[in-house]
Amino acid sequence: MSSFQAVFKREFKSYFTTPVAYVFLVIFLFFSGYLTFKQGFFAIRQADMNTFFMNMPLLFVFLVPATAMRLWAEERRVGSIELLLTLPVTVTQAVLGKFCAAWLFIVIALALTFPMVITVCFLGDPDAGLIVTGYLGTVLMAGAFISIGCFFSAISKNQVISFVLSVVACAILVFAGMPTTLNYLSTFLPSGLVSAIGTMSLQTHFESIQKGLLEFKDFSYFILLIIGWIAASSIILEERKAN
């Protein structure tokens, strides 16, 4: 546990020793608010945060990989990964420490969107349960995207390549569940296969939680997704350590 905490603290502090964290926070807060109000927040005359949460998958497809791309690529670029892997810390502890630090950073970014909650509560009487489940689904989605970014950062020492691969992987998980995508696929794929693709999409499970439907299948989807990509990152790094 002490080894995990050491990696976690080191990684979390590194976000705020460079302008990266502040640039990310400013961009995220600006676009999350801008897209919400641009898409008719006042026009619908309904005090809820559906419009806000609806934009989160698209924002996270680009912003979360930008946060995660440096997790291991930067260590490999500067050559500190060899030093890290020779310390009395297991690869799994190192991966989990970096993953949790990045996840906490995203959670802080989401917490800073509290003015949106205050605005909605001031304008009307929103369903608090839907706001809580919306944030819960967003946090789980962020964890899934960070785990994907962690994997591609582990296999590449170039941050740009890591970012591009992470964006592509995250975008596939999101857009595979879009109605337009499913309608297009149904023109040349069997209905059963199209339904399976929709079930495997992150968008489908996120929307389910956002609507307040707390089902085991949705939570297990995100948990298995996170565990799978984290395990893959550990395997890649174990192989590199052995070599």
Domain ranges of the chain: 2-242
Render the chain in DSSP notation, one character per residue.
Answer: -HHHHHHHHHHHHHHHSSTHHHHHHHHHHHHHHHHHHHT-TTTTT---SHHHHHTHHHHHHHHHHHHHTHHHHHHHHHT-HHHHHHSS--HHHHHHHHHHHHHHHHHHHHHTTHHHHHHHHHHS---HHHHHHHHHHHHHHHHHHHHHHHHHHHH-S-HHHHHHHHHHHHHHHHHTTSHHHHHHHTTTS-HHHHHHHHHH-HHHHHHHHHTT---HHHHHHHHHHHHHHHHHHHHHHHHHHH-
Whole-number pLDDT of residue 22: 86
pLDDT score recorded for residue 115: 86
pLDDT of residue 44: 66
pLDDT at 95: 87
pLDDT of residue 41: 64
pLDDT averages per 10-residue partition of the chain, 243 residues: 79 82 87 79 70 87 86 71 71 87 92 87 81 92 92 85 90 83 77 77 86 85 93 86 69
Q: What is the pLDDT of residue 112?
A: 92
Give me the pLDDT at residue 117, please: 86
